[in-house]
Structure 1
Amino acid sequence: MLRQYELVERVKGYDPDADEALLNRAYVYTVQKHGTQKRASGDPYFSHPVEVAGLITDLKLDQDTVITALLHDTVEDTLATIDDVEANFGPDVARLVDGVTKLSKIEQLTDDERAAENLRKFLLAMSEDIRVLLVKLADRLHNMRTLHFIRSPEKRKRIARETMDIYAPLAERVGMYEYMREMQLLAFEQLEPEAYATITGRLEQIRSSGEGQVDAIALKIKQALAEAGIRVELSGREKHPYSIWRKMAERHVSFEQISDIMAFRIITENVEDCYRVLGVLHQVWQFVPGRFKDYISTPKTNGYRSLHTTLIYENSMRVEVQIRTREMHRRNEFGLAAHWAYKQDDRPDGQVGWLRDLIEIVDASHDPEELLEHTRLAIYSDRIFAFTPKGALFQLPKGSTPVDFAFAVHTDLGAQTVGAKINGRHMPLRTELHNGDVVEIIKGKNTEPQLSWLSFVVTGKARASIRRAVRAKEREEVASIGRKMFDDIAGRVPAKIGRKAIKAAVERLELDDEDDLMLAIGSAKLSDREVMEALVPGCTADLPELPAQERAISIKGLTPGMGFVLADCCHPVPGDRIVGLKKPGVGVEVHAINCLELANGIDNDWVDLSWGERSQGAVGRLRVVLYHRTGTLAEMATIFAQNRANVINLELTQRDDPFHTYDVDLEVSDLAHLTRIVSALRASEAVAQAERI
Structure 2
Amino acid sequence: MPTIDALSERLTEYLDQPQIQQVRRAYFYAEQAHDGQRRKSGEPYVTHPLAAANVLAGMHMDHQSLMAAMLHDVIEDTEITYEGLESQFGEAVADIVDGVSKLTHLEFETKAEAQASNFQKMVLAMAEDIRVILVKLADRLHNMRTLGAMRPDKQRRIARETLDIYAPIAARLGMRDLQVELEELAFQSHYPMRAKYIRRAVIQARGQRKDIVASIEETIQKRLQQEGRPGVVTGREKHLCSIYRKMKEQRKSFAEIMDVFAFRIVTDTVDDCYRILGAVHNLYKPVPGRFKDYIAIPKSNGYQSLHTDLFGARDITIEVQIRTKEMDAVANQGIAEHSHYKAVGKDNSESAESSYNRARKWVQGLLEMQKRAGNSMEFIENVKKDLFPDEVYVFTPKGRILELPNGATPVDFAYAVHTDIGNSCVSCRIDRRLAPLSQPLENGQTVEIITTPSARPNMAWLNFVVTGKARTAIRHYLKNQQRHESIDLGRRLLSQSLSNYNASLNDLDASKLEQLLLEADLKNLDDLLEDIGMGNRMAYVVARRLRPDTDETERVKNSSDKPLSIRGTEGMVLQYAKCCRPVPGDLITGHISTGKGLVIHRSSCRNIGYLRDNPEKCILLEWSEEISEEFLVNLDLEVESHRGIIAELATTAAKMGADVLQIDIGEHEGQLATVHMELTVSDRIHLARVMKKLRVLKTVNKLVRQ
Give TM-score, length-normalised by structure 1.
0.78
Counterpart residue number, 1:557: none
Distance 2:435 2:138 in 1: 46
Give the one of 419, 425, 442 matched to 2:450.
Answer: 442
Q: Does 1:251 align with 2:250?
A: yes
Kindly tell me: are residues 21 and 222 of structure 1, through their superposed partners in 2, closer, same or farther at Cα, counting changes over 3 Å?
A: closer
Alignment coverage as a number of residue pairs: 595
Gaps of 5+ in 2: 346-352, 554-565, 577-586, 603-607, 635-706
How far is the alpha carbon of 1:2 from its aligned partner? 2.8
Q: How does 1:642-661 map to 2 (within 5 A)?
A: 647=592, 649-651=594-596
| AA at the equivalent of 1:523 | M
Q: How does 1:500-519 map to 2 (within 5 A)?
A: 501=509, 505=513, 509-510=517-518, 511-519=522-530
Gaps of 5+ in 1: 545-625, 637-641, 655-659, 663-667
| AA at the equivalent of 1:468 | H
Q: Does the Cα contact within 8 Å between 2:589 and 2:621 map onto a contact in 1? A: no
Distance 2:215 2:386 in 1: 41
Distance 1:351 1:115 in 2: 22
How far is the alpha carbon of 1:206 from its aligned partner? 2.6
Counterpart residue number, 1:673: 613
Question: 3-state DSSP class of the match of 1:234?
Answer: strand
Distance 1:661 1:470 in 2: 25
Q: How does 1:126-205 map to 2 (within 5 A)?
A: 126-150=126-150, 152-205=151-204
Kindly tell me: are residues 634 and 53 of structure 1, through their superposed partners in 2, closer, same or farther at Cα, counting changes over 3 Å?
A: closer
Kindly tell me: are residues 534 and 336 of structure 1, through their superposed partners in 2, closer, same or farther at Cα, counting changes over 3 Å?
A: farther
Q: Does 1:304 align with 2:303?
A: yes
Q: Does 1:121 align with 2:132?
A: no
| AA at the equivalent of 1:32 | Q
How far is the alpha carbon of 1:492 from its aligned partner? 5.9
Kindly tell me: are residues 674 and 277 of structure 1, through their superposed partners in 2, closer, same or farther at Cα, counting changes over 3 Å?
A: farther
Give TM-score, length-normalised by structure 2.
0.77
| AA at the equivalent of 2:165 | I
Q: Per-residue CA shift, 1:276-317, capped at 9, x if unaligned?
A: 111111111112222211111111111111111122222111
Identity %: 39
How far is the alpha carbon of 1:543 from its aligned partner? 7.3
Q: Per-residue CA shift, 1:544-586, capped at 9, x if unaligned?
A: 9xxxxxxxxxxxxxxxxxxxxxxxxxxxxxxxxxxxxxxxxxx
Kindly tell me: are residues 502 and 196 of structure 1, through their superposed partners in 2, closer, same or farther at Cα, counting changes over 3 Å?
A: same
How far is the alpha carbon of 1:468 from its aligned partner? 1.4
Distance 1:509 1:677 in 2: 22
Q: Does the Cα contact within 8 Å between 2:482 and 2:572 map onto a contact in 1? A: no
Q: Does the Cα contact within 8 Å between 1:100 and 1:136 map onto a contact in 2? A: yes
Q: Per-residue CA shift, 1:635-680, capped at 9, x if unaligned?
A: 99xxxxx9999847241699xxxxx999xxxxx9965425998795
Q: Does the Cα contact within 8 Å between 2:611 and 2:618 map onto a contact in 1? A: no
Q: Does the Cα contact within 8 Å between 1:415 and 1:448 map onto a contact in 2? A: yes
Counterpart residue number, 1:424: 432
Kindly tell me: are residues 504 and 25 of structure 1, through their superposed partners in 2, closer, same or farther at Cα, counting changes over 3 Å?
A: farther
Q: Per-residue CA shift, 1:251-293, capped at 9, x if unaligned?
A: 3232122254432111101111111111111111112222211
Counterpart residue number, 2:470: 462
Kindly tell me: are residues 652 and 644 of structure 1, through their superposed partners in 2, closer, same or farther at Cα, counting changes over 3 Å?
A: closer
Question: 3-state DSSP class of the match of 2:228?
Answer: coil
Q: In terms of mean alpha carbon deviation, does 209-218 or 262-271 score higher? A: 209-218
How far is the alpha carbon of 1:419 from its aligned partner? 1.4
Distance 1:439 1:336 in 2: 30
| AA at the equivalent of 1:280 | A
How far is the alpha carbon of 1:445 from its aligned partner? 1.7
How far is the alpha carbon of 1:104 from its aligned partner? 1.0
Question: 3-state DSSP class of the match of 2:335?
Answer: helix
Counterpart residue number, 2:665: none
Question: 3-state DSSP class of the match of 2:334?
Answer: helix
Kindly tell me: are residues 85 and 282 of structure 1, through their superposed partners in 2, closer, same or farther at Cα, counting changes over 3 Å?
A: same
Q: In terms of mean alpha carbon deviation, does 97-106 or 383-392 score higher? A: 97-106
Distance 1:17 1:81 in 2: 28
Kindly tell me: are residues 643 and 267 of structure 1, through their superposed partners in 2, closer, same or farther at Cα, counting changes over 3 Å?
A: closer
Counterpart residue number, 2:396: 388
| AA at the equivalent of 1:271 | V
Distance 1:301 1:223 in 2: 34
Q: Does 1:520 align with 2:531?
A: yes
| AA at the equivalent of 1:409 | V
Distance 2:362 2:504 in 1: 54
Q: Per-residue CA shift, 1:487-541, capped at 9, x if unaligned?
A: 14544669775388559835872544432231133235556688568857x959x
Distance 1:61 1:302 in 2: 19
Q: In terms of mean alpha carbon deviation, does 501-510 or 426-435 score higher? A: 501-510
Counterpart residue number, 1:80: 80
Counterpart residue number, 1:273: 272
How far is the alpha carbon of 1:222 from its aligned partner? 0.7
Question: 3-state DSSP class of the match of 2:485?
Answer: helix
Distance 1:111 1:286 in 2: 53
Question: 3-state DSSP class of the match of 1:14?
Answer: coil
Kindly tell me: are residues 430 and 632 of structure 1, through their superposed partners in 2, closer, same or farther at Cα, counting changes over 3 Å?
A: closer
How far is the alpha carbon of 1:368 from its aligned partner? 4.6
Q: Does the Cα contact within 8 Å between 2:540 and 2:616 map onto a contact in 1? A: no
| AA at the equivalent of 1:441 | I
Q: Does the Cα contact within 8 Å between 1:113 and 1:368 map onto a contact in 2? A: yes
Distance 1:209 1:481 in 2: 74
Counterpart residue number, 1:413: 421
Q: Does the Cα contact within 8 Å between 2:286 and 2:309 map onto a contact in 1? A: yes
How far is the alpha carbon of 1:681 from its aligned partner? 5.5
Distance 1:632 1:187 in 2: 45
How far is the alpha carbon of 1:28 from its aligned partner? 0.9
| AA at the equivalent of 1:363 | K
Question: 3-state DSSP class of the match of 1:13?
Answer: coil
How far is the alpha carbon of 1:227 from its aligned partner? 1.3
Kindly tell me: are residues 84 and 630 of structure 1, through their superposed partners in 2, closer, same or farther at Cα, counting changes over 3 Å?
A: same
